[in-house]
Structure 1
Amino acid sequence: MSGGASSHRIRQATLVAGSALIVATMLAAGSGSHGWLLTGLLGLGGLLVVFAACELMILAVDGIGLRVRMNRYVAGTMAGLASNIPEVVMLGFVLAATPRVGFLVTVVTLHVSAAAFGIYSALLPRDASGSAEMPKPLVLLSTDLYACAAGVFFATGAIMLLMYVFDAGVHQGNALNATDLYVLGAALLSVELVAITRLVKRFSREPTESADHATTATSTTKGDAPTIAAVAGFGLLG
């Protein structure tokens, strides 16, 4: 679950700072001042707001998980999904303005996430044999799902390169049409859906605390659970 009061203050400060930066930048742009500096500040403010909103969505789901005593694996999975909502909203505005930029932002985000996962895997502690122990949920989900998602991206990239080289497709190799994007999105969403379903089915049946810590965990859950108003507030702000 997420951190305590200090982390809450950091998230609130991030949201306030990002919002203030956006407002100040837009006022400066409205007065006739333009340039790369204002664009960069506006982008920075937007990133701060999105980051804080994602964290607030995680807090909301964490609060629900504590109140209903949700399994920590399931709560973590649901919180991870909820944290994507602000990003999806942000991408909706980008797509409405410039669809190509929205597509590029989405692809770059997914590739950066994959790179971050690779770096995380490389930095995992090693045992005596030199092998890294992956987290249990990732191991039990099977590498087949990750290989499937990687295969979808590899095939998409290869097709895009071939279309560009040979001027193929409706847009003569310069873009994918709506059908192409629907197929790509359906393939990736199916991988995500299978992964979430398997994770929830597997870990919702397993105890996550030992018998020795059960009483402590229960009392901690009761004491740390936020109020319904706090959960609703986190969700609305996110």
Structure 2
Amino acid sequence: MLIKVCLNGARRLGEHPGLPVTPAELADAARDAVAAGAGAVHLHARDPRGAESLVAADIGAAVRAARDACPGIPVGVSTGLWITAGDERARLAAVAAWSELSGSDRPDFASVNLSEPGFATLAEALWTAGIGVEAGVWSAADAAALRASGLAGRCVRLLVEIIGGTAAEAPGAAHRILAALDGLPGQRLLHGEEDAAWPLVGMAGPLGLDTRIGLEDTLVGPAGEPVRDNAELVSHAVALLPHR
């Protein structure tokens, strides 16, 4: 089983004292999380002002820092459409420019949300740049779109992501998406955000699915307790998955 650490996401500056933003902070956070048991790193690159960015120079600096800190560990990034304020063309142009990044600066993979327009074209741009694609599936409708696209077999992973809802609702929502993906190729990774985060880490283990945890998904431990940083969250996830 893989535990992927999600270091920062779209969190606001100052939202948590351990939130990494700069390349140096991302490097330290990635190193500590991998030491705690993470096998892959997902991050949201920021510009010099701290805003999320898809600009190649910002992506390259963040990826290079994390990769240098964790040799041999895959490093991935977001392509969330909100990062370009909903401008699909601007996002595609920014991602296409990643093909010019050197090997050390180029992400190993990038997440592509099926709920956003242009996902198939964006995936092709990533593959052209030599970057793997994680398909972000947030609903049964997303699963149907992925099935219709015929792209599932080319993806690194299929991310079953529960965004919103309560802890009690999360397992049922996850089962519905997993059922909608039935028969499609690709390793599943199950995770949730906020109240859904820990229930789905716990659910992933018995199902033999990869999972994800980090300050992007939650700012607290399994019992709602404060946590110091991403590494502590990963340590909690490892403890919930003793058979890894």
Which structure has the higher relative contact order (CA within 8 Å, separation 6+)? 1
Q: Which has the higher strand share?
A: 2
Q: Which has the higher helix share?
A: 1
Structure possessing the higher radius of gyration over alpha carbons? 1
Superposition TM-score, scaled by structure 1 size: 0.23
Superposition TM-score, scaled by structure 2 size: 0.22
